[in-house]
């Protein structure tokens, strides 16, 4: 596991000058520590919105939106989606935004398949790169519908595995596997060693996260292994050790895989939901610290990718803040849940 521990050299490709110039403007709309701290101190959702509206772009996205978590959540999500589309419209930005677009698309497919399995009429649609009706038709068996190979494969594999197991959780696991295979492919073809290593770290964290959850939920390992596919970074035995082994074994696996620093305190694992939430926060912070030093570059894909990740973390932080304030969660408790910002 030496690849992601080294500090990779950025590409400095001047072909990204346009995109980076544009990102420099858009970065003015990224949250920073000062804004978050001010937002933590206020009493209610309306005041939080007033504070974050100081930031350009975000203020436009939140204009005339009812001051309640659900509509604000939708507005933030579509704001992020529009940013992704805008970056993806540029030839060089297409592959960079694809990673983030995939997370939308795969979540959409999960929902479509679950609705299909529950025999529910089509409900609300969420942002995605495809036509929801086409995917719904495809899931219902109209395989003549045109779909990209990735989604076609994802749906076919999921439905086939479901047919043999009739376990709803399998839908999530198989789709996560196809998603992670795509992340792996993206890492392999990435022109930037920084983004490549970042994607590998993300890939490993997703495996760890799902293994920790499986351990907590006491899922059967046979079910969990559906998410796994052979890769050079994590073996099935490592994940098996996490799920079925004693708690002390987890620290060993993380040390062995080079990810010791996501553990808290003395490095001892505790199988409780608060600890899991903390570890997930550490994973997000690790990824942020990984990409943050490259934000000052003038050329290359790294600042663009870093900005997109920063936006995704902003959405996560704002959700925590807005929901927290709405339900009256205390300032300190909320502060502990917040992720590190791109700009401190």
Partner 1 sequence: MIIDGLTIAYLGSALAIGLAGIGSAIGVGIAGEAGAGVLTEDPGKFGTVLILQALPGTQGIYGLLSGFYVMIKLGLLGGSPVTVSVLQGVQILFACLPVAIVCWFSAIAQGKTAAASIGMIARRPEETGKAIILPAMVETYAILSLLATILLLNTIKLG
Residues forming contacts to partner 1 in the complex (CB under 8 A) are 14, 17-28, 298-299
The tokens of 179 are what?
Answer: 């998603």
- Please tell me the total number of residues recorded for the chain in this structure: 344
Q: How far is the CB of 333 from partner 1 (least distance, A)?
A: 33
Q: Return the number of the residue (27 or 105) whose C-beta is nearest partner 1.
A: 27
Q: Are 51 and 37 in contact (CB under 8 A)?
A: no
Which one, 19 or 147, has the nearer CB to partner 1? 19
Q: How far is the CB of 43 from partner 1 (least distance, A)?
A: 31
Nearer to partner 1, 271 or 298 (CB): 298
Q: How far apart are CA 40 and CA 314, in angstroms?
A: 14
Decide whether 11 or 158 has the Cβ nearer to partner 1. 11
Centre a 10 Å sphere on the Cβ of residue 136 and count the other Cβ atoms it contains.
Answer: 17
How far apart are CB 10 and partner 1 at their closest, in Å?
14
CB of residue 197 to partner 1, shortest distance in Å = 24
- Closest to partner 1 by CB, 89 vs 260, is 89
Q: Which is nearer to partner 1, 186 or 297 (CB)?
A: 297
CB 302 → partner 1: shortest distance, Å? 13
**Least CB distance from residue 157 to partner 1, whole Å?**
40
Tell me if 294 sits within 8 A of 10, measured CB to CB. yes
Residue 106 or 307: the one with the smaller Cβ distance to partner 1 is 307
Q: Are 301 and 195 in contact (CB under 8 A)?
A: yes
Query: Exposed, middle or buried by CB within 10 Å (0-12, 13-18, 19+), for 190?
Result: buried
Q: What's the closest the beta carbon of residue 138 comes to partner 1, in angstroms? A: 36
CB of 86 to partner 1, least distance (A): 9
Which is nearer to partner 1, 18 or 229 (by Cβ)?
18
């Amino acid at each position: 596991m030496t690849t992601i521990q080294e500090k990779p050299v950025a590409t400095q490709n001047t072909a990204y000058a346009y995109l980076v110039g544009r990102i420099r403007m858009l970065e003015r709309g990224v949250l920073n520590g000062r804004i978050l701290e001010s937002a933590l101190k206020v009493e209610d959702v309306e005041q939080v919105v007033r504070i974050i509206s100081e930031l350009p772009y975000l203020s436009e996205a939140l204009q005339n939106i009812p001051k309640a978590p659900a509509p604000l959540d939708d507005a933030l999500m579509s704001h992020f989606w529009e940013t992704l589309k805008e970056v993806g419209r540029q030839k060089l930005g297409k592959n960079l935004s694809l990673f983030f677009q995939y997370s939308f698309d795969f979540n959409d497919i999960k929902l479509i398949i679950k609705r299909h399995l529950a025999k529910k009429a089509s409900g609300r649609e969420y942002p995605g790169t495809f036509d929801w009706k086409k995917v719904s038709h495809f899931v219902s068996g109209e395989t003549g519908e045109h779909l990209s190979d990735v989604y076609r494969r994802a749906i076919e594999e999921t439905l086939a595995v479901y047919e043999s197991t009739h376990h709803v959780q399998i839908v999530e696991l198989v789709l996560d596997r196809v998603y992670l295979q795509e992340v792996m492919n993206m890492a392999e073809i990435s022109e930037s060693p920084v983004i490549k290593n970042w994607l590998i770290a993300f890939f490993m964290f997703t495996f760890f996260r799902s293994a920790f959850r499986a351990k907590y939920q006491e899922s059967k390992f046979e079910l969990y292994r559906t998410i796994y596919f052979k890769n050079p970074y994590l073996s099935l035995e490592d994940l098996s050790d996490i799920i079925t082994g004693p708690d002390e074994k987890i620290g060993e696996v993380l040390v062995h895989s080079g990810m010791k620093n996501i553990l808290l305190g003395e490095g001892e694992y505790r199988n409780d939901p608060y600890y899991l939430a903390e570890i997930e926060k550490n994973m997000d912070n690790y990824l942020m610290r990984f990409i943050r030093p490259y934000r000052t570059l003038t050329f290359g894909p790294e600042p663009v990718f870093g900005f997109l990740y920063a936006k995704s973390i902003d959405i996560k932080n704002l959700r925590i803040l807005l929901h927290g304030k709405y339900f009256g969660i205390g300032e300190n408790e909320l502060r502990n849940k917040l992720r590190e910002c791109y700009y401190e």
